[in-house]
Structure 1
Amino acid sequence: MINNEEFTNRLKKVIEYYSESASSFAEEIGVQRSSISHILSGRNKPSLEFVLKILSTFPEVELYWLMNGKGKFPSEKNTPVRLEEKVTSEKQDLFSEPLSHNPNVEAPQIQKQIGSSNKEIDRVIIFYKDGSFSNFENS
């Protein structure tokens, strides 16, 4: 279980590091301003969705550091590049290519493996054992 007060202090550090206000930070990660306010005041605990939005928007924030203070901020293994810039500079179009690199597996077979063929993939997140991740969005 996370310590709310310590989490709040680390969240404030992240907000200050990017020279954001609580309001602009909320907009940046795609949550309501009241969500940030309630977390900063200690009224609410952060949800998993809230934490994932921070991590996907600011890749130099490490999960373990944000949740329990272990590790460093900003991460030394991630360069301070925003997700939008990272996706643009390292464009990987995962959605126009088959998911498998096996030439014997056709796209319809892959679609059966991942679900109904009438559903379109919006986003794929890959989590690595070192706490980092890659986020790929269908654009």
Structure 2
Amino acid sequence: MINSIEFTGRLQKVIDYYSESASSFAEKIGVQRSSISHILSGRNKPSLDFVMKVLHSYPEVELYWLMNGKGDFPSQPKTSEPTHPTITETKPKPQIPKPNSTPVLGSRSSSDSDSEIDKIVIFYKDGTFKSYKP
């Protein structure tokens, strides 16, 4: 469960980072201005559709950071060069797919050969989704 107060703080940080007003932010992500006002005031909690619109309009915002405050904002660009761990580094954080990414089908790593699919969720660009259980 997300903490609404902390979420609104992170949302405000995104708005401030891009030097947007609540009105211009609402227009850019395609929601009514009152939606932003109600979320920032704590009256309403953000919907999945709202969160997906923020992620789609601002690719530098990471889902895990926006929802839980863990990770980086703005997200650091990914480099293709291998990095060498140092003593101060910890395990890499799990990668969360971006909203418009396409999964690679038919590939399987040795670590998931014993895994079973529990649920498949398909997200559509209009903010709807379907969930399937095998």
Alignment TM class, shorter chain as reference: 0.5 to 0.7
Q: How far apart are residue 9 of structure 1 and its match?
A: 0.2
> For residues 130 and 62 of structure 1, do their structure 2 counterparts lie closer, same or farther at Cα, with a shift above 3 Å needed?
same
Q: Tell me, what secondary structure is at the counterpart of 1:135?
A: coil
For residues 89-125 of structure 1, the C-alpha deviation after alignment (integer angstroms, 9 at most, x for no partner) is: xxxxxxxxxxxxxxxxxxxxxxxxxxxxxxxxxxxxx
Q: Indicate the residue corresponding to 1:118 in structure 2.
A: none
Q: Does the alignment pair 1:57 with 2:57? A: yes
> Which stretches of structure 1, 4 residues or more, deviate above 2 A after TM superposition?
134-137
Q: Indicate the residue corresponding to 1:123 in structure 2.
A: none
Distance 2:68 2:99 in 1: 21
Q: How far apart are residue 21 of structure 1 and its match?
A: 0.2
Q: Indicate the residue corresponding to 1:69 in structure 2.
A: 69
Percent identity, aligned pairs only, is 72
Q: How far apart are residue 134 of structure 1 and its match?
A: 5.3
Q: Which amino acid aligns with 2:95?
A: D
Contact 2:52/2:99 (<8 A) preserved: no
Q: Indicate the residue corresponding to 1:83 in structure 2.
A: none
Q: Indicate the residue corresponding to 1:19 in structure 2.
A: 19
Q: Does the alignment pair 1:45 with 2:27? A: no
Q: TM-score, normalised by structure 2?
A: 0.61
Q: How far apart are residue 131 of structure 1 and its match?
A: 1.4
Q: Indicate the residue corresponding to 2:122 in structure 1.
A: none
Q: Which amino acid aligns with 2:71?
A: G
Q: Indicate the residue corresponding to 1:132 in structure 2.
A: 97
Aligned residues: 87
Q: TM-score, normalised by structure 1?
A: 0.59
Distance 1:133 1:42 in 2: 27
Listed as ranges, the gaps of 5+ residues in structure 1 are 79-128
Listed as ranges, the gaps of 5+ residues in structure 2 are 79-93, 102-124, 126-134
Q: Does the alignment pair 1:36 with 2:1? A: no
Q: Tell me, what secondary structure is at the counterpart of 2:100?
A: strand
Distance 1:2 1:50 in 2: 14
Q: Indicate the residue corresponding to 2:5 in structure 1.
A: 5
Q: Tell me, what secondary structure is at the counterpart of 1:64?
A: helix
Q: Which amino acid aligns with 1:66?
A: L
Q: Tell me, what secondary structure is at the counterpart of 2:16?
A: helix
